[in-house]
Each structure stands twice: as structure tokens, then as C-alpha cells.
Amino acid sequence: MATYNYTPADFKSDQEVKWCPGCGDHAMLNAVQRAMPEIADALDTPHNRFVFISGIGCSSRFIYYMKTFGFHTIHGRANAVATGVKVANPDLSVWVCTGDGDSLAIGGNHFIHAIR
């Protein structure tokens, strides 16, 4: 078993998770929190260089449950803000947490440009 500089607990905030029981967001949160120590080591990125950007909706509460930097944006603009954060500070590891309505409906054009 590999040894990492961090543990999943280093990425878990003290906030109570307020998603409905059975929601798939729980599985996503747990998977990301468990993966972050390995990702931090693989990228050789310290804990304080991760930032999660979210939009609006249940999935966007994700940032409150991560013990990293985070920014809760307006509806449909998470990808645009994340792109700006990365351009302003390329050393950050920038992650976007958003749902289908936020990213594929109102934020569809921003999503396409972020991919580009």
C-alpha cells in the first residue's frame, strides 16, 4: 500500500453534508476525498494549491465539504470562473463541481469554451 503526504481526512471539511440520502453526490464526494492524497502526490502539489469552483444547485455544495480553497459562483458560470482562476494563477490545481443544468443548460457555452 502506498504512503502519501496527505490522508483523505486532510480534504474533508467539518461541514455537515446536506444532500438527500441515496444521492449520487455522496459517492462522488467520497471518491474525490479518497483520491486527493494520491492526486496531490502525483501532481507534486501541496494541499493549499487546490481550488474547487462550483455553480448553483445541489452538486455545487461540493465545495463546502472539501477542505480546500473554493469559490461558489453564479448559475452557469463555474467553468468561466475556473478558467479565469487558472489563467490568473497557473500553479493552482483547479477543479469544477457542477451539475447538468449548471454546465450543460445555462452554462453550455462556457462548458464548450472550457473544453476548447
pLDDT at residue 10 in the model: 95
Chain length of the chain: 116
Band of pLDDT at residue 40, cut at 50, 70 and 90: very high
Query: What pLDDT digit, counting tens, does each position of 16-34 carry?
Result: 999 999 999 999 999 999 9
Element (H, E) at 110: helix 108-115
pLDDT at residue 32 in the model: 96
pLDDT at residue 74 in the model: 85
For residues 106 and 75, the answer to whether their CB atoms sit within 8 Å is yes
Query: What pLDDT digit, counting tens, does each position of 44-93 carry?
Result: 999 999 999 998 888 889 999 999 999 988 888 888 899 999 999 999 99
Closest CA to 76 of 105, 116, 114, 53: 105
Query: What pLDDT digit, counting tens, does each position of 98-111 carry?
Result: 887 777 777 767 77
Q: Where are the beta strands (DSSP E) in the chain?
A: 50-54, 69-72, 93-97
Question: Is residue 72 classed as helix, strand or coil in its secondary structure?
Answer: strand
